[in-house]
Amino acid sequence: MKPTELDAKRTVDGFSIGRIFHADHDLLVTLEEYDREVFGPTGLRTYDLAVVTQAGAVYLARVDDEIVGSCQFLRMVDEPDFFYVVGFYIRPQWQGHGLGRAFLQEVAAAIQKLGAAGMILTVDPGNTAALGLYKSTGFEDHTFVRDFYGEGHDRYIMRWRFA
């Protein structure tokens, strides 16, 4: 049986990341709460998170023992060297401290070890903070899709091909 978390990497000031391989119900409920805290009703549910944990990869960012962020990936079927970011966030009360950049860089390094040549994600065109973070770490504008998540939910699809 795989441990709940493996390859946790601790950085400065108690910040660490780790991949979860199995999430018990309590952790899934917590992650759903945090996902919806950031993304509202479109946030992932416990079912979605359980599937991504088993079929993809879920990384958690922590400061000491508190979960401050999450990143969920699935491998692209048509481009298997790219990982699709199902969700990436730093919880609102932890934003603005450089954790998003550190977390994104660490998960990029982690998925490269899994064979990823890059990642693809979607972002709300009005989310200037996220757009700035993604562009500054290597993502490029790729495609604008109107109503990507339904009427009124436009998105940019951005790509980051690792060097």
Instruction: Locate the domains of the chain by residue range.
Output: 5-161
What digits encode the pLDDT tens for the residues 92-105? 999 999 999 999 99
What digits encode the pLDDT tens for the residues 37-52? 999 888 999 999 999 9
Q: The CATH number of 5-161 is which of 3.30.360.10, 3.30.750.24, 3.40.920.10, 3.40.630.30?
A: 3.40.630.30
Average pLDDT over the chain, rounded to an integer: 91
User: φ, ψ for residue 146 (rounded to 5)?
Assistant: -75, 140
pTM of structure: 0.90
Give the whole-angstrom CA distance, residue 149 versus residue 15.
32
Contacts of 125 (CB under 8 A, 6+ apart): 131, 144, 154, 155, 156
Q: What is the mean pLDDT of residues 82-90?
A: 97
Q: How far is CA 47 from CA 31, 38, 75, in A?
A: 11, 18, 18
C-beta separation of 32 from 43 below 8 A: yes
Give the whole-angstrom CA distance, residue 99 versus residue 155.
23
C-beta separation of 44 from 32 below 8 A: yes
Residue 152: DSSP 8-state? T
